[in-house]
Structure 1
Amino acid sequence: MSSITGVAGEERRDFDKAERRVLRRRSLSLLGSLLAPLKRSILLTALVVVVSTALQVIGPAIIAYGIDTGLPELLRGRAVPLAGSVVVYLVAGVLSGVLIAAYTVQTARISQAMLIDLRERVFVQTQRLSLEFHEQYTSGRIISRQTSDLDSIRELLDGGINELVQSVLYMLFTAVALVLLDGWSGLVLFCSFVPLWFLIRWFQRRSEATFRESRVFSAKLIVFFVETMTGIRAVQAFRKEPRNARDYGELTEDYRSINARAIRLFAVLEPGLTLIGNLTTAAVLLFGAYRVLNGDLAIGVLLAAVLYTRRFFDPMEDIATFYNAYQSAEAALEKISGVLEESPTVPEPVQPKPLGTGVTGRVRFEGVRFAYRADREILPHFDLDVPAGQTIALVGSTGAGKSTLAKLIARFYDPSDGRITLDDVDLRDLTNQDLHRAVVMVTQEAYLFSGSVADNIELGRPGATREEIEAAARAVGADAFIRSLPDGYDTDVNKRGGRVSAGQRQLISFARAFLADPEVLILDEATASLDIPSERLVQEALQTLLADRTALIIAHRLSTVAIADRVLVMEHGRIVEDGTPADLIAGTGRFAALHAAWRDSLV
């Protein structure tokens, strides 16, 4: 039994390694695509940093020349070698400082260009992805991609890569200079690479999992916070504050614990680097001093060798700090690349068919089957013909499939089998532009964006004139209340339309739909959240809105159903009754019972 468990564990580890390799390749591919447009700037920056680093590294060699050659020459009355070495040392320092400043500015420009590109890609991609993605991928996780994950990458690009490139080049040039200056001292330095390799490898293995977990807990904190604030009404209504505080405290404790593990790793790494550096410097000094006593090594060369050895280990701590930022950024880049790799489940057609002019609005379901998941079939086999200009009301219990029909007509989802046509053209063959022009959905939420009332109505047809916007508002009965607002059509509705009532928001959304002038209009529980006076006001607007167009009304309130030409009663994804409101009320079926219960509730 234990051997089976061991094999399973080994297979799991192999799978994890393979998965990490795939994720790393995907992240590197994304990074490469961000760097590609900046090749010239990167090459120029690389040249600047190479020259500036070489000028920094040359210092100890100049000092060695000044001591071993300049000082003896000065004793002989010749000051030129020593003065020359001082001048060269100062010029190299000044030029190095100027080039470092230029390098810092240039790398900042490159990092900002990459971040802007990445932010725009994430925003455009999350808008492009289908509704299925957004229903599964919570808003908190998307916000985490745009905030904490991008911040991790920003920290890496702004300072981390800058320091890494400088540090690596500095160490490389320092090692080369030491070998050229004194090969034996270089050999002592290379011997220190053995304990360095073991220490860094130990840190890498443990920190990779630690920092990945840190990003996971950071995302969980953001998701929990966003979802709590989004649902704050429900939180306060159900007195969920103590439980949320307890859950959030547990998450912060987990986050603190994982960060404490990361700190403990650095508590071993940094002293370990310092110890190896000090021991190596001491070894170079002792071995060099012995050779100086034997006359095999000049004192200036020994001083330069000690300086080079000490300087070689100085950037180690910066590299360790970079690795911290790198681990966080790598995990963030993996998550962002995952979002960017997603493909819309409702793609644009490769060879679209034009909808053309004179669209009538006839909608047909032909053998449609739909399932959100393999074990959750909503429509087992569905056929429906909606003639052009007909208003259909869908009624039925929750989960009967009413909203699913609406989402399929709006092409938020594609059917698993069968097809849905608009004027005999499969919806999957229509461009999004044609489909969104012909089909408009008004939901219960009646979402308004920050901006003026006019701006929100104009969403129905971008570029519409003020006269057309006001005409649409008058047509649905919204003009009077809009003009009563402080700034009329220029009144800012505030976040999510908080300045206007639910009924007024719904009228604005109707004006938006009227301005769009679609051939097919879908009303998904558009009056469910309204009180009776507001519903009556909206009912009058509906008469105008539904005129001369195909309409699908999903409603639990049967007062809304009365304006329909045809009523479909649905149960478990099937139509169980089909007829005019009057005919169904006069019968003895499901709709008649619903209508009788509704009428009794009014009494």
Structure 2
Amino acid sequence: MSTVTGTSGEDRSDYTRAESREIRRRSLRLLGSLVTPLRLQLVLAAIVLVISTALRVAGPALVGWGIANALPAVRAEADWMPTILVVIIFLITAVGGAALIGWYAVVAARLTQAVMLDLRKRIFLHTQRLSLEFHESYTSGRIISRQTSDLDTIRELLDGGLNELVSGLLYGGFTLVALLLLDWQSGLILAAMGIPLYFLMRWFYLRSQVVYRESRVISAKVIVKFVESMTGIRAVKAFRKEPANDREFGGLSSDYRDVNMRSIRLFGTFEPGMMALASVSLALVVFWGGFRVTSGALELGFLLSAVLYVRNFFAPMQEVAFFLNSYQSATAALEKVSGVLEESPTVPDPAKPVDLWEARGHLRFEDVTFGYSDDRTILPDFALDIPAGQTIALVGTTGAGKSTLAKLIARFYDPTRGRLTLDGVDLRQLHPKDLRRAIVMVTQEAYLFSGTVADNIALGKPDATLDEIQAAARAVGAHAFIERLPDGYATDVNKRGGRVSAGQRQLISFARAFLADPAVLILDEATASLDIPSERQIQEALGTLLADRTAIIIAHRLSTVAIADRVLVMEHGRIIEDDTPAALIAGTGKFAQLHSAWRESLV
């Protein structure tokens, strides 16, 4: 960053251009990887398109030849054979061209759908593999935008825009060649008019490039604002954010309208310019051709063919312009999608994983230093040994590093320095399947997926029987309320668990953890959303849940801490107290003060 900050405006411009080139190369690499497996279908589509275009271009030449040669034969010799022959050939080229265009449309559609299927799966699979750090910094609205509006824009390009470009350029090129062969003088006039046409299209391309990129950015902001407002609708209503949201969304919508109006004004200039060039070209060809017809240097029929070719040349150029419209938008979308796919997991899977078939749960922090991407150190030179089967309670003020410690144990993040081991194996070397089986984290959110209650409990053990699922629910005290649901364990919890209360969702998440049977269980504020009766119910179940496994409990409610074998009081990423709950309560340290304040709050 320092090298960029101190550079001149020209150097900064070069840096930006270099960055833009790299983004384009990245997008082209992605596009190449998508179409390479389909190259045989691409060759087939190209052959079909070339033949169909050649057949379509032959029409005006046949009309001109028929007028110049076939009709005079009828008048002079009453010979209808040339006319019939021309009509038959014309029909064959017309029908054949139409049939091949239809075939090409099917082949192109299959190609588009194959590319979109591959790309859609890549985005989903890759974003799932990315580490928690990415998802905590990249909003859900932006991810949804990549998977929806950006992919739709790319599909529109492949489905229609690219077809318009290829067929338009081919048709225009074939038309110019045919006109040069038929009447080289009219062909030269058309070629000369191609020069201002080139400058007009280049102007449109450069101007629209900026507009459409801005359009994609603002479109994404509109989606993000809408998704975040609807996702957090409870907070919006609780804090009366509706008026502020209305103003912000209205402003974004106005910006989106303005950028769309600028693109419309671009077309409002480009299309009349295109029509003017077409009219001037046609007038010149008719004028010069008419002069030659009167002098006998050109047949009237071939002049008609030249007029048809000139009109046909400019018609696909309009399609090329529409492609530029789609291309600008799709290029910006492809850049954003390729940017996501270029992201690498900050917590990568090991190259040579170590198997740990049966974990005991012995955790050890060895001189661990950790800080997030903002370079702020959270855990400085942290050392801790947690024997297998021990229940640890982490206590401390907000920002002390408790949740960070839990995320490191769950390997959502890796230490910046030092190492964290499970039964002597560095977590960075442990096989992912063994890691996920050995360590389970239950958070305050208690997320439930759409599906039945049984499906959600069996999340960590998909092959579990109904008896095993019910046993897990009984162990944590969830069986009774589940049985009272409309369909019991077969009740669909609806999106985000909308059919059950926050406390019931938490109980289901406890049952899920119990069924997974991990060696290490992390409870990160897992009882925060429970009411007092539910918490007492959980307290009774925690004895069963935590038995014979290592447990790390993060809780502000000190009633939960009481069941721990050992309490660690954290402050600024360091352990300042470490002892049994009873010993710390009897002392005069930080935990004793917290416990005293908690008891007073109960009174």
The aligned counterpart of 1:463 is 463
State percent identity of aligned pairs.
Answer: 67
The one-letter code matched in structure 2 to 1:71 is: L
CA distance in 2 between counterparts of 1:488 and 1:166 reads 60
Q: Deviations over 1:474-515 (max 9, x none)?
A: 222222221121111101111111211222211111111111
The aligned counterpart of 1:438 is 438
The aligned counterpart of 1:501 is 501
CA distance in 2 between counterparts of 1:46 and 1:91 reads 21
Tell me if structure 1 keeps the 8 A contact 2:393–2:566.
Answer: yes
Q: What SS does the aligned partner of 1:192 have?
A: helix
Which 4+ residue blocks in structure 1 deviate beyond 4 angstroms? none
The aligned counterpart of 1:484 is 484
The aligned counterpart of 1:11 is 11
The aligned counterpart of 2:338 is 337
The aligned counterpart of 1:373 is 373
Give 1:559 deviation, angstroms.
0.2
CA distance in 2 between counterparts of 1:79 and 1:483 reads 90
Q: What SS does the aligned partner of 1:429 have?
A: coil
The aligned counterpart of 1:276 is 277
The aligned counterpart of 1:95 is 96
The aligned counterpart of 1:389 is 389
The answer to which of 481-490 and 403-412 deviates more is 481-490
1:597 maps to 2:587? no
CA distance in 2 between counterparts of 1:398 and 1:90 reads 81
CA distance in 1 between counterparts of 2:405 and 2:494 reads 32
CA distance in 2 between counterparts of 1:8 and 1:275 reads 44
The aligned counterpart of 2:166 is 165
1:202 maps to 2:203? yes
The aligned counterpart of 1:421 is 421
CA distance in 1 between counterparts of 2:132 and 2:529 reads 23
Q: What SS does the aligned partner of 1:419 have?
A: strand
The aligned counterpart of 1:142 is 143
Tell me if structure 1 keeps the 8 A contact 2:350–2:429.
Answer: yes
Tell me if structure 2 keeps the 8 A contact 1:366–1:419.
Answer: yes
CA distance in 2 between counterparts of 1:374 and 1:276 reads 57
Tell me if structure 2 keeps the 8 A contact 1:510–1:541.
Answer: no
1:567 maps to 2:567? yes
CA distance in 2 between counterparts of 1:582 and 1:415 reads 32
CA distance in 2 between counterparts of 1:155 and 1:479 reads 50
Q: How does 1:113-192 map to 2 (within 5 A)?
A: 113-192=114-193
Q: What SS does the aligned partner of 2:412 have?
A: coil
Q: Which consecutive unaligned segments of at least 5 residues does structure 1 have?
A: none
Tell me if structure 1 keeps the 8 A contact 2:506–2:529.
Answer: no
CA distance in 1 between counterparts of 2:257 and 2:290 reads 49
Q: Deviations over 1:9-62 (max 9, x none)?
A: 333332222222111111111111111121122211111111111111000110
The one-letter code matched in structure 1 to 2:230 is: M
The aligned counterpart of 2:243 is 242
1:266 maps to 2:272? no
CA distance in 1 between counterparts of 2:438 and 2:273 reads 68
Q: Which consecutive unaligned segments of at least 5 residues does structure 2 have?
A: none
Change (3 A) 1:523 1:238: same
Tell me if structure 2 keeps the 8 A contact 1:53–1:96.
Answer: yes
The one-letter code matched in structure 2 to 1:511 is: A
The answer to which of 226-235 and 580-589 deviates more is 226-235
CA distance in 2 between counterparts of 1:516 and 1:465 reads 13
Give 1:556 deviation, angstroms.
0.4
Aligned residues: 598
Q: Deviations over 1:144-182 (max 9, x none)?
A: 001110111111122112222211111011011011111
Tell me if structure 2 keeps the 8 A contact 1:401–1:572.
Answer: yes
CA distance in 1 between counterparts of 2:175 and 2:490 reads 66
Q: Deviations over 1:414-452 (max 9, x none)?
A: 000000000000000012111000000000111111110
Tell me if structure 1 keeps the 8 A contact 2:565–2:581.
Answer: yes
Give 1:67 deviation, angstroms.
0.9
Tell me if structure 2 keeps the 8 A contact 1:503–1:538.
Answer: no
The aligned counterpart of 1:291 is 292
CA distance in 2 between counterparts of 1:111 and 1:170 reads 22
Give 1:374 deviation, angstroms.
4.5
Q: What SS does the aligned partner of 1:441 have?
A: strand
CA distance in 1 between counterparts of 2:167 and 2:373 reads 52
CA distance in 2 between counterparts of 1:117 and 1:220 reads 26
Change (3 A) 1:120 1:415: same
CA distance in 2 between counterparts of 1:123 and 1:142 reads 9
- Report the RMSD for the aligned CA atoms in angstroms: 1.3
The one-letter code matched in structure 1 to 2:327 is: Y
Change (3 A) 1:117 1:20: same
Report the TM-score when normalising by structure 2: 0.97
Tell me if structure 1 keeps the 8 A contact 2:475–2:544.
Answer: yes
